[in-house]
Amino acid sequence: MKNTPDLFSYRKYWAKRFGTASQLPMSREEMDALGWDSCDIVIVTGDAYVDHPSFGMAIIGRLLEAQGFRVGIIAQPDWTSADDFRKLGKPNLFFGITGGNMDSMVNRYTSDRRIRSNDAYTPDGAPNRRPDRCVTVYSHRCREAFKDVPIVLGGIEASLRRIAHYDYWSDTVRRSVLLDSKADLLVYGNGERQVVEIAHRLAAGESIDQLTDIRGTAFIRKQTPPDWTEIDSTSVDTPGTAVPKPNPYDDEPQGCAKDSSGDRPEAVVRLIKRRTPSDRTVIRLPAYEAVKSDPVLYAHASRVLHQETNPGNARALVQRHGDRDVWVNPPPIPLSTKEMDAVYGLPYSRLPHKSYGTSKIPAFEMIQHSVTIMRGCFGGCTFCSITEHEGRIIQSRSEDSIIREIETIRDTSPAFTGVISDLGGPTANMYRLACKDKAIEAACRRPSCVYPGICKNLNTDHSPLIRLYRRARALPGIKKVLIASGLRYDLAVTSPEYVKELVTHHVGGYLKIAPEHTEPGPLSKMLKPGIGTYDQFKRLFDKYSKEAGKEQYLIPYFIAAHPGTTDEDMLNLALWLKRNGFRADQVQAFLPSPMATATAMYHSGKNPLHRITRTSETVFVPKSLKQRRLHKAFLRYHDPNNWPLLREALKRMGRADLIGNGKHHLVPTWQPEGTGIHHEGKRIARKVLHFRTQHTGLPVIETKSPRKSRRMGKP
């Protein structure tokens, strides 16, 4: 594997040939105005084109432009024919295809497999502007339009489908998207390094088939080259007895804090210890045909893949599909601060393409005045796809770069009112946090740096973030800087000074955090801290809100029907919500996204956080539609529409004592008459805090209760 060059090192070899476009062209007329007879690269995207660094197609397009390439955009094309895919002409180098900022299936379907009524990444929120599994459909149309043009897939949809994966919507294990799309190359993770190298090497005359040594890419080959050493992970042992105690950190490198309790069960599959240099070693995963028919092997493949996600020690993976191999190179090297600054300093117009006129793009309206300060997440939440896509090593911008972007927003955005809506990223408070020892970081295979406790080698110093906040809000013309990204409260409690800074100056009445559950069973499958950490953070939040003279509330997120969650767990969560005066406005059940660890639990009923055996820990999975509805109903225990279902469940669970008309009861014995809720013949008003709770990554709108919310305090 070649060493990855500095992201912008190619500039010294490649003369910049063209000027900067105000926005990348979406039509031949715009190309003519720029004096272009053709595009070098055409990016096809499932989102509307917004020239803003929160949109992947804008980052990649502007980066390639800065490298001297002519880049065109085809956004949300009509996929029923190849005509729209020809409108910019034949690209000289390749088509780059992305589903957009969200997976197209997650974007279109709810966790109950119902079609969503709108699309936040489409003008005016119009639905049905992209096909299901759109990277596959777009790839076929590009091949139909220009048969001999290389096709490179990228973005989160392709990233999460780089090997055989469980597909929730069809309830099957599907092949790698490379096979289904018939593309030439797949870029996974953050794609800056890969696309720059791909573009330059193709421009230098290499064929797409020769690009097999680029980190962060996957491709198809017939067999393993002779100078590589294969590690076969599919030799099946005789199943042993299941004796493990909870310990998700088997096989840890020396120096990482871990819980070493518990015996190791006999493994179904043996991962042979490495004896050869990792840069010429490939791990052979069970074939597609094997994982499709054997959920235990699927769970094993998921476990191995997640152990090979650290750029410092990851080895290549290969998986047979029929008579061909899907080869996955190790992850890309994270961007340096200098490179991050360069990427976010490119000349974005920060506006939707002019062709959309006065149409509103909801996702843009939400983030147009936000600033990305970091990438990556070392939280390792099993239901979340951030780690699989962005990695767990934090990549941070410099303070000066962030301040320059805030000033650009202030000076150029026509809609700016003085409020920066967010300084964040995948998390609000992992800015500049990293392992204290680079050698340990490079060797670590832990799925999380903060579960079951914060690793002793993790730097949790929040002072750089505090300095950034203070400098940002002191800028002339900036009235308020809000923090809207999800907060890791288990990290925040290590720095009361940070909590005070946040609560005093950067909360707009509500702060969203994600305990996800209250019970240890599901929390251990999520890799989330116990509810006691939430209580600890809440005490600090309330203390500093009171000192600031502000009435502010925490908005907690919870997930229903996550693997490992029983009916009793959801009942206990409902009782916690009632005790604390919370009412969920809208809720969503767990949605198994491709490649997530929790998705492997959902499909296999096994726990890939431990060694997999035929008789190892079985994870309870609430799969049936009725049970998923029940778990959502527990989160909305106050909704009269859910009371019949909850009464039936409480009786079945032997908890009929929670049915009644007293304050300690969960649901009443009657239905409400007309509007409002009646108790002992009198209509009463409930003073509670309403909130929305749903799966990570979707937009959230919070609403405040009418009166006496101060009295709840809890909130």
Provide the pLDDT for residue 512. 86
Of 245-249, 548-552, 633-637, the range with the lowest mean pLDDT is 245-249
Angle at which helix 192-203 crosses helix 56-66, to 10 degrees, equals 40
Q: Please list, in sequence order, all residues whose beta carbon lies within 8 angstroms of the beta carbon of residue 314, skipping any fewer than 6 positions away.
A: 278, 308, 330, 331
* Residue 452, preceding peptide bond in cis (omega within 30° of 0): yes
At residue 29, the pLDDT reads 97
Asked if pLDDT for residue 6 goes beyond 70, the answer is no
Residue 291 three-state SS = helix
Average pLDDT, the chain: 87
Q: What is the pTM of this model?
A: 0.88
The helix or strand, by DSSP H or E, that contains position 43, with its residue range, turns out to be strand 41-45
- With b meaning 16 or more CB within 10 Å and e meaning fewer, what string describes 486-510? bbbbbbbbebeebbbbbbebbbeeb
Q: Answer whether 99's CB lies under 8 Å from 43's CB.
A: no
Please report, rounded to a whole number, the percentage of residues in the chain having pLDDT higher than 90: 78
What's the rounded Cα separation, in Å, for the pair 30 and 24?
A: 8
- What is the dihedral sign for C-alpha 53, 56, 62, 63? positive
Give all strands (DSSP E) within 495-605, no chain letters: 510-516, 553-558, 582-586
pLDDT in tens, 242-291: 333 444 444 444 445 444 334 444 444 333 334 445 678 999 999 999 99
Q: Is the pLDDT of residue 334 over 50?
A: yes
Exposed (0-12), middle (13-18) or buried (19+): which is 217, by Cβ within 10 Å?
Answer: buried
Locus of tokens 């198809």: 220
Let me know if 684 is exposed, middle or buried by CB neighbors in 10 A (0-12, 13-18, 19+). exposed
- List, for residues 93-120, the tens digit of each pLDDT value: 999 999 999 999 999 999 989 999 999 9
Of the candidates 176, 197, 432, 460, the residue with the CA atom closest to the CA atom of residue 324? 176
Q: What is the mean pLDDT of residues 213-228?
A: 94
**Predicted pLDDT of residue 587:** 83
Question: Going by C-beta distance under 8 Å and a sequence separation of 6 or more, which residues neighbour residue 592?
Answer: 166, 168, 598, 599, 602, 603
Burial of 392 (C-beta count, 10 Å sphere; 0-12/13-18/19+): buried
> 190 pLDDT exceeds 80?
yes
Task: Provide mean pLDDT across the span 565-591.
Answer: 92
pLDDT tens digits, residue range 483-501?
A: 999 999 999 999 999 999 9
Q: Give the separation between CA 23 and CA 467, rounded to whole angstroms.
A: 34
CB atoms within 10 A of CB 683: 12
Asked whether the predicted pLDDT for residue 236 surpasses 80, the reply is no
Q: Residue 518: what pLDDT?
A: 96
Q: How far apart are CA 75 and CA 99, in angstroms?
A: 10
pLDDT at 588: 83
| Cα Rg of the chain, angstroms | 26
pLDDT at 402: 98
Q: How many helices (H) and strands (E) does the chain have?
A: 24, 24
**pLDDT 10s digits, 422-443:** 999 999 999 999 999 999 999 9
| CB neighbour class for 613 (10 Å; exposed up to 12, middle 13-18, buried from 19) | buried
Residues 26 and 44 sit within 8 Å (Cβ to Cβ): no
Coil vs helix vs strand at 691: strand
Summarize the confidence of residues 526-552 as an average pLDDT: 96
Strand, helix or coil at 42? strand
Provide the pLDDT for residue 585: 76
- Per-residue HEC secondary structure of 378-419 comes to CCCCCCCCHHHHHCCCCEECCHHHHHHHHHHHHHHCCCCCCE
- Per the DSSP assignment, residues forming a β-bridge with 556 are 513
The total number of residues written for the chain in this structure: 715
Mean pLDDT to the nearest integer, 558-574: 97
Q: 513 pairs with which residues across the strands?
A: 487, 556
Q: What is the pLDDT of residues 698-710, one digit of tens each?
A: 333 333 333 333 3
8 Å CB contact between 448 and 306: no
Quick one: CA dihedral 680, 681, 684, 689, positive or negative? positive
